[in-house]
Amino acid sequence: MSKGFDVRRQPGFSTIAIACFVLLYLPILLLVVYSFNAGSSIAIWEGFSWRWYVSAWENEQVKDATIRSLVLACSASAVATFAAVLAALATTRSKPWRGQTVVFAMVNQPLMVPEIVTAVSLLIVFAAVKQVTGYTGLGFLILAHAAFCIPFAYMPIRARLQGMDLSLEQAGADLYGTPLRVFRYITLPQLWPGILAGSMLAFVISLDDVVITEFVKSAGQDTLPTYMLGQLRRVVTPEINAISTALLAISVVMVTGFFFVNKARK
Amino acid sequence: MSETAPSAPSASPGRRARSERRNRWLLLTPAMVILSLAASGPLLVVLIYSVLTPGDYGGVEWRFSLDSWFAVVVERDFFTEELTLADAHLMVFWRSLKLSLCTALLCLIVGFPTAYFIATRPARRRDMWMLLIMIPFWTNLLIRTFAIMELIRNQGTVNTLLVASGLIDEPIQMLYTEFSVLVGMTYVYLPLMILPIYASMERLNFDLVEAGYDLYANRFQVLRRVIFPLVKPGVVAGSILVFVPCLGAYVTPRVLGGGKQLMLGNLIELQFGQLRNWPLGAALSLTLLAVVMVALIFYVRAIGQEGERDV
Residue B1's pLDDT band (cuts 50, 70, 90) = very low
How far is residue A40 CA from its own chain's centroid? 31
Is A114 in Cβ contact with B245 (below 8 Å)? yes
Give the mean pLDDT of B37-43: 95
Q: How far apart are CA B38 and CA A14, in angstroms?
A: 45
Domains of chain B, each with CATH number or no CATH: 2-84 (no CATH), 87-310 (1.10.3720.10)
Chain A residues with CB under 8 Å of B223 CB are: 10
Residue B4's pLDDT band (cuts 50, 70, 90) = very low
- pLDDT score, position B7: 43
Asked if the C-beta of B52 comes within 8 angstroms of chain A's C-beta atoms, the answer is no
Using CA coordinates, name the residue in chain A closest to B201.
A8
**What φ, ψ does residue B53 adopt, rounded to 5°?**
-95, 135
Instruction: Reply yes or no on whether the pLDDT at A186 is more than 70.
Output: yes
Chain A residues with CB under 8 Å of B296 CB are: 112
Domains of chain A, each with CATH number or no CATH: 10-49 (no CATH), 59-264 (1.10.3720.10)
Task: Name the residue among A134, A141, A155, A140 with its Cα closest to residue A200.
Answer: A155
To test the contact with chain B by mutation, choose from A46, A66, A117, A148 the residue with the greatest count of B C-beta atoms within 10 A, namely A117
Give the mean pLDDT of B20-41: 92
- pLDDT score, position B59: 77
* Type of residue found at B252: T
Give the mean pLDDT of B200-205: 89
Residue A37 in contact with residue A52, Cβ under 8 Å? yes
Shortest distance between the Cα of A127 and any Cα of chain B, in A, equals 9
**What φ, ψ does residue A48 adopt, rounded to 5°?**
-85, 140
- pLDDT score, position B305: 76
Residue A68's pLDDT band (cuts 50, 70, 90) = very high
Instruction: Reply yes or no on whether the pLDDT at B103 is more than 70.
Output: yes
- Provide the percentage of residues in chain B whose pLDDT is more than 90: 56
Shortest distance between the Cα of A4 and any Cα of chain B, in A, equals 13
Chain A residues with CB under 8 Å of B48 CB are: none
Residue A119 in contact with residue A212, Cβ under 8 Å? yes
Burial degree of A176 (CB within 10 A; 0-12, 13-18, 19+): exposed
Which residues are paired to A37 by β-bridges? A48
Residue B219 in contact with residue A10, Cβ under 8 Å? yes
Residue A184's pLDDT band (cuts 50, 70, 90) = confident
- Provide the percentage of residues in chain A whose pLDDT is more than 70: 97
Q: How far apart are CA B102 and CA B108, in angstroms?
A: 10
Chain B residues with CB under 8 Å of A233 CB are: none
**What φ, ψ does residue A214 adopt, rounded to 5°?**
-55, -35
Give the mean pLDDT of A75-98: 90
Sign of CA dihedral B75, B77, B78, B80: negative
**What φ, ψ does residue B72 adopt, rounded to 5°?**
-60, -40
Q: How far apart are CA A14 and CA A20, in angstroms?
A: 10
Residue B137's pLDDT band (cuts 50, 70, 90) = confident
**What φ, ψ does residue B54 adopt, rounded to 5°?**
-65, 140
Instruction: Reply yes or no on whether the pLDDT at B9 is more than 70.
Output: no
Is A116 in Cβ contact with B288 (below 8 Å)? yes
Q: How far apart are CA B108 and CA B234, in angstroms?
A: 11
To test the contact with chain A by mutation, choose from B19, B22, B23, B24 the residue with the greatest count of A C-beta atoms within 10 A, namely B24
DSSP A1-52: --TT--TT--TTHHHHHHHHHHHHHHHHHHHHHHTTBSSS-SSS---B--HH
Residue A264's pLDDT band (cuts 50, 70, 90) = low
Is A27 in Cβ contact with B31 (below 8 Å)? no
Asked if the C-beta of A132 comes within 8 angstroms of chain B's C-beta atoms, the answer is no
- pLDDT score, position B101: 96
Whole-angstrom distance between the N-terminal and C-terminal Cα of chain B? 48
Instruction: Reply yes or no on whether the pLDDT at A153 is more than 70.
Output: yes
Secondary structure class of A191 (helix, strand, coil): helix
Secondary structure class of B253 (helix, strand, coil): helix
Residue B283's pLDDT band (cuts 50, 70, 90) = very high
ipTM of the complex: 0.89
Which residues, including other chains, have CB under 8 Å from residue A35's CB and lie 6 or more apart? A52, A53, A238, A241, A242, A244, A245
Helix axes A60-91, A224-231, angle to 10 degrees: 130
Considering only A163-167, B132-136, B253-257, which range has the smallest mean pLDDT? A163-167
